[in-house]
Amino acid sequence: MNFHGTTILAVRHNGKLAVAGDGQVTMNNTIVKHHAKKVRRIYNDRIIVGFAGATADALNLSERLEAKLERYNGNLTRSAVELARDWRTDKYLRRLEAIMIAADETNMFLISGNGDVIEPDEGVMGIGSGGTSALAAATALIKYSGLDARSIVEEAMKIAASICVFTNDSFTIEEI
């Protein structure tokens, strides 16, 4: 899945987690919103989710993930697997066009409609049209700078915004 119009970046570094999303919403080649919130906290503020894709679909998935978290007492791993299973097998859910990152104190997952529940090797994950640029920048910043997780996502998102025309520099950042 390749989504235009969003960059979401999650970084776990030195015991801290930061997740950032840009604020730009586009329809075709027109910017229709500059300050959208694509990163939010769910489940008693213990889980951070960031999403790319159709907004209504992403919000639907976020609500479904939160319901799974309620059912499985906040177990993000189990909830992510169950959501991905439902997403892949349910006739209605299969049509949803979104992808998400969900993270808590110890886990970070990319969850997709293909049934993917992927945990990164290095504690860095990027999705959306500028996700690869942000991921590359964050990986370098982790290796070659003394920055904390929040500063890494801020700087990496600035780099992605300077490269990807579907990404702006109005960021929402959540931390654990």
Spatial separation of the C-alpha atoms in residues 31 and 3, rounded to whole Å:
15
CATH of the domain at 67: 3.60.20.10
In a domain, 144, yes or no: yes
By residue range, what is the domain housing residue 42? 7-167
Average pLDDT value over all residues in the chain: 91
Judged against a pLDDT cut of 80, whether residue 96 lies above it is answered with no
Spatial separation of the C-alpha atoms in residues 38 and 80, rounded to whole Å:
18
In a domain, 176, yes or no: no
- For 99-108, 113-122, 165-174, which range has the lowest pLDDT when averaged over its residues? 113-122
**Residue whose pair of structure tokens reads 């939010």 in the numeric block:** 40
- Both structure tokens of 85: 């299973």
Judged against a pLDDT cut of 70, whether residue 1 lies above it is answered with no
What's the gap between Cα 23 and its chain centre? 13
Query: In this predicted structure, what is the pLDDT of residue 4?
Result: 55
Which residue among 6, 77, 132, 139 is the active-site one? 6
Looking at the 3D structure of the chain, how many domains does it have? 1
DSSP code, position 93: G
Strand 25-27, strand 30-33: pairing:
antiparallel
In a domain, 1, yes or no: no
In a domain, 172, yes or no: no
Which is more confidently placed, 45 or 58? 45
Helix (H) or strand (E) holding 168: none
Judged against a pLDDT cut of 90, whether residue 86 lies above it is answered with no
Confirm whether 6 is a catalytic residue.
yes
Spatial separation of the C-alpha atoms in residues 76 and 105, rounded to whole Å:
10
Query: Residues with Cβ < 8 Å from 87, sequence gap 6 or more?
Result: 61, 93, 94, 96, 111, 112, 113, 115
Residue 170, helix vs strand vs coil: coil
Which is more confidently placed, 29 or 145? 145
In a domain, 2, yes or no: no
